[in-house]
Structure 1
């Protein structure tokens, strides 16, 4: 199975997705095959009528200006996306939709449900993109690829690493990423052993066997995670290993509409060192 129907989430507010991130996404899709649609969501700011606030600071006018800026950003980014995707022969669609500012993440997750993969580029700190990625991976039922501009391979996919702990979410990520792993230059299966009782030596052997059954040769790396937070173990490994893409399961549960994330998931979402493929 290929990833034929990919969604690129394009940010519109407060700053638009950088052009470099759009170009890299298009190049990555051309690299792995398939078509990509760019989704830009213009934000709305519902303002309850307040004559005093309108009189003192022009609250309604400020909201109108910010909404208009979001739409301008979205149209410009979609035009750049369309030109790049059509030029690369991977263009799908380019919708510009609207959602309340605090509902953008849920809106993107809804649209991602009928896609093979949702790509979410990171911008500036606190730009809301991490929240979008979290919503997509837990609410859409589809995988998400989170990346920073300048790091996503667009011409050649080098080493890919599968973080494996033998759990259900890791299995889901492995299955969803097979079409990408088949195109990687090399594949390694990483097991952080002694991090929890089930994380024992030899844990990754079955994952490597499964990859081999799909014609993908994979080496196994085991690192000792004893007495270290899982996030630190992953960072230490990535600092030494050349890696174009990290595939891992996303662990978390919902409580009162807020996600309580597993340690590794929270750590990697906060500051991914390499492009991060997550599935739940």
Structure 2
């Protein structure tokens, strides 16, 4: 099934998603097909109810000012998105929402459940988007595509080369299935397996993935790398840095504690060293 209904999250606090990021997302969707909507969430900041602090440092005024800034970011980013998406013929909805400052990530994840894919640009490790992409990956039931303008740019004509990480797990299988519409458009696909890492990734495990993709009319090759004691995330990032594919696809591994997810080692490492755009699925 092709990607028809894609949503882009536009950050609105503390900084706005850049025009470059919006442009890359719109052009990427125009190249792979589908309709792109955007959601910008204005933050609702509830300062502590402390009369003395409010009097001394003006907490209520500060909160109102930050909310105003966030609202203006939403309006400007959505206007930019609408113009670019209309120009390339992929315009869906421009959604201006509002949520509690600490509930933005959960809100975006909930809205992503009825989309084929959510795109989350990341400007830096501290911009708040990391929380959004993790919430979407683990809480939406849908895949998330993340990239970093200037460092891990989206290929504007679609990903010609794709690396699919395979470890035989459920999440890897889910990522492969979710990425199928993009894999169909790729020119080169490598199924990458790190051996001597876990029981499910013995030699030859990627060959059945190649067979499955061929059954769908998709050509791919299997490649194995002996982990040789290195962490899987390090092997992945070294491989990607050397080969620079247009997209890296992997299952997002994590475990839950008190309903909060903690990333597995390989996922955490790749997100911390985002060398190319990544499609994550859980």
TM-score of the aligned structures, taking structure 1 as reference length: 0.98
CA apart distance, 1:259: 1.3
Question: Which SS does the other structure have where 2:199 is aligned?
Answer: coil
Alignment correspondent of 2:24 = 24
Correspondence 1:44-123 to 2 at 5 A: 44-123=44-123
Correspondence 1:1-280 to 2 at 5 A: 1-150=1-150, 151-280=153-282
Q: Is the 8 A contact 2:9 2:121 kept in 1?
A: yes
CA apart distance, 1:273: 1.0
Q: Is the 8 A contact 2:240 2:275 kept in 1?
A: yes
Q: Is the 8 A contact 1:130 1:270 kept in 2?
A: no
Q: Is the 8 A contact 2:244 2:276 kept in 1?
A: no
Question: Which SS does the other structure have where 1:220 is aligned?
Answer: strand
Provide the C-alpha distance between the structure 2 equivalents of 1:132 and 1:65, rounded to a whole number of angstroms.
23
TM-score of the aligned structures, taking structure 2 as reference length: 0.97
- What are the ranges of 5 or more consecutive residues in structure 1 without an aligned counterpart? none
What's the Cα RMSD here?
1.0
Deviations 1:175-204 (A, max 9, x none): 010000111121111001111122211010
Q: Is the 8 A contact 2:16 2:73 kept in 1?
A: yes
CA apart distance, 1:156: 3.9
Provide the C-alpha distance between the structure 1 equivalents of 2:77 and 2:31, rounded to a whole number of angstroms.
22
Provide the C-alpha distance between the structure 1 equivalents of 2:44 and 2:33, rounded to a whole number of angstroms.
35
- What are the ranges of 5 or more consecutive residues in structure 2 without an aligned counterpart? none
Judge which range, 59-68 or 249-258, deviates more: 249-258
Q: Is the 8 A contact 2:17 2:121 kept in 1?
A: yes
Q: Is the 8 A contact 1:136 1:143 kept in 2?
A: yes
Question: Which SS does the other structure have where 2:93 is aligned?
Answer: coil
Question: Which SS does the other structure have where 2:46 is aligned?
Answer: coil
Q: Is the 8 A contact 2:26 2:84 kept in 1?
A: yes
Question: Which SS does the other structure have where 2:43 is aligned?
Answer: strand
Q: Is the 8 A contact 2:237 2:273 kept in 1?
A: no
> Aligned in 2, Cα 1:9/1:232: closer, same or farther, shift over 3 Å?
same
Q: Is the 8 A contact 1:189 1:207 kept in 2?
A: yes
CA apart distance, 1:245: 0.1
Provide the C-alpha distance between the structure 1 equivalents of 2:7 and 2:158, rounded to a whole number of angstroms.
20
CA apart distance, 1:235: 1.3
Aligned pairs, number: 280
CA apart distance, 1:271: 2.6
CA apart distance, 1:241: 1.3
Provide the C-alpha distance between the structure 2 equivalents of 1:223 and 1:84, rounded to a whole number of angstroms.
42
CA apart distance, 1:244: 0.6
Deviations 1:191-231 (A, max 9, x none): 01111122211010011111111111001111111211111
CA apart distance, 1:54: 1.3
